[in-house]
């Protein structure tokens, strides 16, 4: 594509040569000839002189322009994301619509228009796939599960029976949704399984990372709100509820029955206890171990997690503990000397 | 079903209307019309007046009964688990017996009676499936592996070659049993693989959660005892041994060659060092990092893990470290003042 | 095999009876009749009298020999690894070459000589499999991905489109390479996906453990150098770079855009922040949380990670915090007594 063509699609104004060819996208520092990059806001415009990109999306005209071309747009980052979507569609086109001859779709499953079911995928009895759903090879959709329109499920992901997934979701390779929650009762020295007869409901526009496991409820529902984004290798326990637009980074875990509000941010490898509440807009720092409920908007860190500002003060002292212990020893010696002296 | 029918199956006595229809099961607080719930013991009987359930399993008669019906049984929780099993069997019936035309069973594999092998499942040469084994779609059973009677393996789980799994086990979606242990020798700046020629033996009544990985031994056997229950996303290293009825919560890890006793409890995200011993009945708190052996019955927490009572005392002081540091500064100032004064 | 035959293959000298039959391999302490074991160096030779093995690889002759036979070789451990390779090849032979009738290879994919593609495996358009590549059942190779010669991909592993994997790699069951990195921009209270248009390049002789997830770059490349070894359940974020011969233990995670040098060792469950640098030859202890860049050769531990020697001193004091707090209380009391006394 040329800079001129991209500018037309974005509704932006070209500076420099509109015939400049664009073959890739990249960050300003990593970009090379043929790449398009972007400058988030005015403050970073001076960095344009350091890039080797052929063109950049910029928030206002620059004179002189230190690279072959630029496109002036109101919101360069958002415009850049739109360009990325074009490149992504070209590099990873959706698989062709249709049920592959090597897929297995049970009688009684209902498929919308333009559904794509790859070789080796399985769709159980009574399952419902909305229009435009893509099931990559090896995906398993259990009996009676419903997948909303335009949701994409990547290879070998498993959605067990009776689960509902909304529209426009992305479930990455190896995801398991709807496996049994971890529930047992002790009986005579052994553990007896509590059958997990509940289900999972995933809202619209949810993304779930590779090999993440989201368990079905014991009874009732494990629920992910609209727009929730979950990274790889995360565990969501049975009966957990996650509010809309919350984000969970990789390797974090949420134990059973915990209720997470909307727009919560949970950092990588954080662990959240069961049966607690995380208020709307709260932030849980990476590697936190959250043992108690967190108030709306609160920022916590550490293990056991506490208010982040207080945790930082704790960590400063903690790093200096050997010195603190030394000062206590010195105090003891000086005090003993004073005491001896007084006694004399 | 009606309350009368359920009472008959449980051998319990009906209070209220035996014709009350039951369409679901739920917790006492979450239940609505049509649901059956339970009250664990006498102490919680007053909560009956708050439930919207249509019926409850209760340990003794209640007068007046604040809901349409109840069933009096000796052990309400255990009876409730039996009811859950009935509902589970109805909602998620076992797949029909038989080898699906889209499954691949190698010549020389031995299948018991009533085995179910779903589309896309693979059974290698010389593998042995006991009576009633269920392999969901996409499951892989390697060459020469043996799966005991009535074991259920959920979609896309992988059991590598030469592994033995006992009877009545449940292996959830994405489980990997018998992958190579992580062993290398340094040689000239690179790492040379130590071939892992051992295997894995899983006892009877073991449950293994989604995407959990249990590695085969370098030589010898990685062993899980009878009744072991493991949650999602857990790693069990090569040559680990886990005693009967031990329980491991999600995202925990056990490094190579560690020996875990019977009825041990390991909390979520705990990590256990290699080549140590965890005694029978020990408890490892969530997020512990266990660096040394733990005595039978001992409760440990923290990192490095120590006796839990001691760890709690440490954590109390740790949370107050900034104040402790301030008190030391004040002591220093006061002591300096005294010393100055004395010198004068 | 006999001891004599093994000695011939290793180029070693037999002590004792060369006709001794060897049916297995094991560690010196675990070995029984029929097993071959090894003694790493002279220092451990006295342990030979405790083994029940039928034969051992030893660094120099022993007189009298306390077991039926021995083979004298210059490097017993390396020779033992060679013997393990022989046993491994016998126990887990490579699947036969050829594309199984139940595999799906898209038109336009290019397959080298002696490639094995198992039932249910998928090879996308334009993918290239080098000579001797083995794809176990259920493996997914996306459109245009290239797999180097003699690389083995175990069941149900997923390699997304446009990814390059080198020669002689081992990818274990459930591995996901090339899923989208975790990138979103906030827009009006929701999160908008940043399409991940980059890729992943994996060098030669790389091993990746079960259910590990390695994300593709936002743009550009997520890169694993030659000889990198990664254990199970590890997450490698988008745009991470890992230098040659670095080793990452189980359940560790590396956040986006971090650059890891060569021959770095990362312990189990360690977490490494994004956008930092870990110098060549550095060591990150198990369970560390690394928040800042680490210098070449540095050893760090703890969270936030600091120099390991300093961290150990911190941990010693930390375990004694309740006593330290008590000593401060005593100091306060003694000092108050002195001050009172002075005022009198």
B335: helix, strand or coil: helix
- Give the count of beta carbons closer than 10 Å to the beta carbon of residue A63: 5
Examine the residue annotation and report whether B275 is marked as an active-site residue of this protein.
Answer: no
Task: Look at residue C273 in the predicted model and tell me its pLDDT.
Answer: 98
Three-state SS at A157: coil
Could you tell me how many residues make up chain A?
344
**pLDDT tens-digit readout, B11-50:** 999 999 999 999 999 989 889 999 999 999 999 999 999 9
Instruction: Show the CA angle centred on residue A144, arms to residues A139 and A146, nearest 5°.
Output: 65
CA A101 to the chain's CA centroid: 34
Looking at the partner chain, which of B91, B156, B231 has a beta carbon nearest the beta carbon of A140? B156
Contacts of B84 (CB under 8 A, 6+ apart): A194, A195, A197, A219, B25
- Average pLDDT in the B179-198 region? 94
List the one residue out of B238, B234, B149, B171 whose CA is nearest residue B199. B238
* DSSP structure string for B269-322: T-EE-TT-EE-TT-EE-TT-EE-S-B-TT-EEETTTTEEHHHHHHHHHHHHTHH
pLDDT at B223 over 70: yes
Check if the beta carbon of residue A288 is closer than 8 Å to that of residue A305.
yes
- Interface residue of B145, B174, B176 to substitute, partner C, most C CBs within 10 Å: B176
Question: Helix or strand or coil: residue A318?
Answer: helix
- Report yes or no: C243 and C268 within 8 Å, Cβ to Cβ: no
Q: How far is A245 from chain B (nearest CA, A)?
A: 24
**H or E, element range at B105:** strand B104-105
Considering only alpha carbons, which residue of chain C is nearest residue A204? C190
What mean pLDDT comes out for the span B294-308?
Answer: 97
- Out of C85, C100, C238, C245, the active site residue is C238
Q: Please state, in angstroms and rounded to a whole number, the distance separating the CA atoms of residues C84 and C129.
A: 28
How far is Cα of residue B15 from the mean position of the Cα atoms in its chain?
Answer: 36
Determine, for residues C173 and B140 on separate chains, whether the beta-carbon distance falls below 8 Å.
Answer: yes
Residue C59 DSSP code: S
- Asked if the model's pLDDT at residue B309 lies above 90, the reply is yes
Q: Does A323 touch chain C (CB under 8 A)?
A: no
pLDDT band at residue B339 under the 50/70/90 scheme: confident
Closest CA to B173 of A145, A233, A104, A213: A213
pLDDT of residue C341: 76
Q: Cα separation of B93 and C20, whole Å?
A: 55
Q: Which residues pair with A247 in a beta bridge?
A: A229, A265
Q: Give the model's confidence band at A197: pLDDT under 50 very low, under 70 low, under 90 confident, else very high.
A: very high
At B344, the pLDDT band (50, 70, 90 cuts) reads: low
pLDDT at C343: 63
Residues of C in contact with B334 (CB under 8 A): 335, 339
pLDDT of B343: 63
Output the pLDDT for position A249.
Answer: 98
- pLDDT digit string, tens, across residues C11-67: 999 999 999 999 999 989 889 999 999 999 999 999 999 999 999 999 999 999 999
Check: CB of residue A50 under 8 Å from CB of residue A36.
no
- Per-position DSSP letters for C237-305, written without gaps between them: -TT-EE-TT-EE-TT-EE-TT-EE-TT-EE-TT-EE-TT-EE-TT-EE-TT-EE-S-B-TT-EEETTTT
Residue-wise pLDDT for A207-241, tens only, equals 999 999 999 999 899 999 999 999 999 999 999 99
- The whole-number pLDDT of residue A343 equals 63
Stretch A178-202: mean pLDDT: 95
From B81, which residue of chain A is nearest by alpha-carbon distance?
A194
Biggest alpha carbon–alpha carbon distance for chain B: 101
The pTM of the whole model exceeds 0.90: yes
CA dist., res. A135 & res. A119, Å (int) = 9
Exactly one of B85, B172, B238, B245 is catalytic; name it. B238
Chain A residue with minimal CA distance to B26? A219
Q: Which residues contact A335 (CB under 8 A, 6 or more apart)?
A: B335, C331, C334, C335, C338
C-alpha–C-alpha distance, residues B263 and B241, integer Å? 13
The reported pLDDT for the residue numbered C339 is 85
Q: Is A123 on the interface with B (CB under 8 A)?
A: no
Residue A344: pLDDT band (50, 70, 90) is low
Instruction: Please pick, among A85, A100, A238, A275, the residue that the annotation labels catalytic.
Output: A238
Q: How far apart are CA B77 and CA B39, in angstroms?
A: 7
> b/e string for B239-252 if b means 16 or more Cβ within 10 A?
bbbbbbbbbbbbbb
Residues in chain C: 344
Query: Mind telling me how many Å the CA of B189 is from chain A's nearest CA?
Result: 31
- The angle, 0 to 180 degrees and rounded to 10, between the axes of the packed helices B308-319 and A308-319 is 100
User: Which pLDDT tens digit goes with each residue over B57-94?
Assistant: 999 999 999 999 999 999 999 999 999 998 888 888 99
Q: Is the dihedral of CA B77, B78, B80, B84 positive or negative?
A: positive
Q: Is A324 on the interface with B (CB under 8 A)?
A: yes
Average pLDDT, whole number, for chain B?
A: 96
- Rounded to whole angstroms, how far apart are CA atoms A52 and C4? 65
Q: Report which DSSP code applies to B37.
A: E
Q: Which residues of A touch B38 (CB under 8 A)?
A: none
pLDDT digits over A29-75, tens only? Answer: 889 999 999 999 999 999 999 999 999 999 999 999 999 999 999 99
- Give the CA angle between residues B182, B184, B189 to the nearest 5°: 140
Please state, in angstroms and rounded to a whole number, the distance separating the CA atoms of residues A224 and A243: 7
- Among chain A residues, the shortest Cα distance to B79 is held by A194
pLDDT of residue B252: 98
Q: Cα separation of C26 and C38, whole Å?
A: 8
Give the ipTM. Answer: 0.94
What's the confidence (pLDDT) of residue C344? Answer: 56
Distance (Å) from the alpha carbon of C253 to chain A's nearest alpha carbon: 8
Show the low-confidence residues of chain C (pLDDT under 50): none
Q: To the nearest whole angstrom, how far is the Cα of A12 from the nearest Cα of chain C? A: 20
């Amino acid at each position: 594509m040329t800079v001129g063509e991209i500018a037309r699609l974005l509704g932006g104004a070209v500076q420099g040569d509109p015939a400049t060819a664009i073959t890739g996208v990249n960050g300003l520092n990593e970009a090379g000839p043929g790449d398009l990059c972007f400058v988030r806001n005015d403050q970073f415009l001076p960095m344009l002189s350091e890039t080797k990109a052929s063109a950049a999306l910029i928030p206002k005209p620059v004179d002189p322009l230190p690279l072959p071309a630029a496109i002036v747009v109101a919101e360069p980052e958002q415009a850049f994301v739109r360009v990325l979507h074009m490149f992504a569609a070209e590099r990873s086109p959706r698989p062709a619509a249709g049920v592959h001859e090597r897929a297995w779709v049970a009688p009684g499953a209902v498929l919308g228009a333009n559904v794509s079911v790859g070789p080796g995928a399985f769709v159980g009895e009574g399952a419902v796939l909305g229009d435009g759903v893509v099931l990559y090879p090896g995906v398993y959709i259990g009996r009676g599960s419903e997948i909303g329109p335009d949701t994409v499920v990547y290879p070998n992901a498993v959605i067990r029976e009776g689960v509902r997934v909304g529209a426009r979701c992305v479930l990455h390779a190896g995801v398991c949704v709807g496996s049994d929650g971890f529930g047992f009762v002790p009986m005579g020295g052994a553990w007896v399984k509590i059958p997990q007869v509940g289900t999972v409901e995933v809202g619209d526009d949810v993304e779930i990372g590779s090999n993440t496991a989201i368990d079905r409820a014991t009874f009732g529902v494990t629920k992910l709100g609209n727009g929730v984004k979950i990274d790889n290798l995360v565990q969501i326990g049975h009966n957990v509820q996650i509010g809309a637009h919350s984000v969970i980074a990789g390797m974090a875990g949420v134990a059973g029955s915990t209720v997470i509000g909307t727009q919560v941010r949970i950092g990588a490898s954080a662990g959240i206890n069961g049966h607690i509440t995380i208020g709307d807009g709260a932030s849980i720092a990476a590697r936190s171990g959250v043992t108690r409920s967190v108030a709306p908007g609160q920022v916590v860190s550490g293990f056991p997690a506490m208010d982040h500002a207080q945790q930082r003060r704790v960590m400063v002292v903690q790093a200096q503990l050997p010195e603190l212990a030394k000062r206590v020893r010195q105090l003891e010696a000086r005090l003993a000397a004073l005491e001896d002296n007084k006694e004399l």
